[in-house]
Amino acid sequence: MKIANVLAATGTLALLSTGAVMAGWEWTFPNGPDNCWTGNSCANTTTNERIYSGTSSNSNPAPGVTSTAWTEPSGSNLNQRYLGSYGGGLGVINSQGDGDHEVDNQGWIDAVLLNFDSPVALNEVTFGWVDGDSDFTLAAYTGDGDDGGTDLSQWKYDQLTTKGWEVIGTYFAAGSASQPDVASGGDPVSFSVNSGNRSSSYWLVSALNPKLDSGLASFANAYKDKFKLHAAGAHAPVTTPPPAQIPEPPVMWMLLLGLLGAAGLNRYRRFRLAS
């Protein structure tokens, strides 16, 4: 095979290997106490979880997702709570006097855990209802599971980053952590998240959370954050192709000698023909 053909084949192979499948997936969390739509399940009164199917913009089907509600009472590990479904989306029900039935940081800090059937790169969240403000902290589990990091009942928020969790970011309705919180009103609001395209099967959507995101320790939260999780969007994990293999020096020398030999043979043939 000619060298040019080898290079052309290598280039084609490289192009094929970089063609990552980018699936457009979306999950909506519809209103209703039963939530028994096709593909979705009612809230399980034993495990307090809700299961949803997703939609796909292409032939790559969206994985299902199981959602649960969590909060951290004072002096306690994270506790699972009842996950309610309302007009604006999913909310967390705590004890009387600690917030209402939304995801909030009034007293205890609430969160919704999204457990997908396979890893996804979450890139959008939508709150269908907001009261006061909609700042939130997003984290993903990127550990290996050996330490039980996905069992939130074993830990407090400030322990999660030592148990395989990674803070993806804290997102502000005002657009900047240096600005005071800006009340967003009751209108739906969507956020683009995870610009680094991190992938995980476990995603934790929490009201603005200084306990989880240590970078917020000195942040003054002027408005309490209260929202209901209406929808989430994601795509398939982005795969990075392995770097092209560079031939070892002996192989390169053999190729060079082969080329020189071929060139010398051609010159010898031309010389014979000329004589």
DSSP characters over 228-273: EEEEEEEEPPPPPPPPPPPPPHHHHHHHHHHHHHHHHHHHHHHHHH
| Mean of per-residue pLDDT scores for the chain | 79
- Sign (positive or negative) of CA dihedral 121, 123, 127, 133: positive
What is the pTM assigned to this prediction? 0.76
> pLDDT tens across 141-183, in order?
999 877 778 999 999 999 999 999 999 999 998 777 777 777 7
Q: Do the beta carbons of residue 114 and residue 139 sit within 8 Å?
A: no
Provide the pLDDT for residue 250.
60
Residues linked to residue 131 through DSSP beta bridges, in sequence order: none
* DSSP-assigned letters across all residues of 85-152: EETTEEEEE-STTS--SSEE-SSSPEEEEEEEEEEEEEEEEEEEEESS---EEEEEE-S-STT-TT-G
Provide the pLDDT for residue 198.
97
Which of the two residues, 26 and 1, has the higher pLDDT score? Answer: 26
> pLDDT tens across 172-214, in order?
987 777 777 777 677 788 999 999 999 999 999 999 999 999 9
Distance (Å, whole) CA 232 – CA 228:
12
Which of the two residues, 110 and 9, has the higher pLDDT score? Answer: 110
Q: Is residue 58 predicted with pLDDT exceeding 70?
A: yes
Q: Which residue has the tokens 């991190």?
A: 198
Provide the pLDDT for residue 20.
38
Break the chain down into helix, strand, coil percent, rounded to 5.
Answer: 20, 30, 50
Provide the pLDDT for residue 4.
37
Domain borders along the chain are: 24-235, 242-275
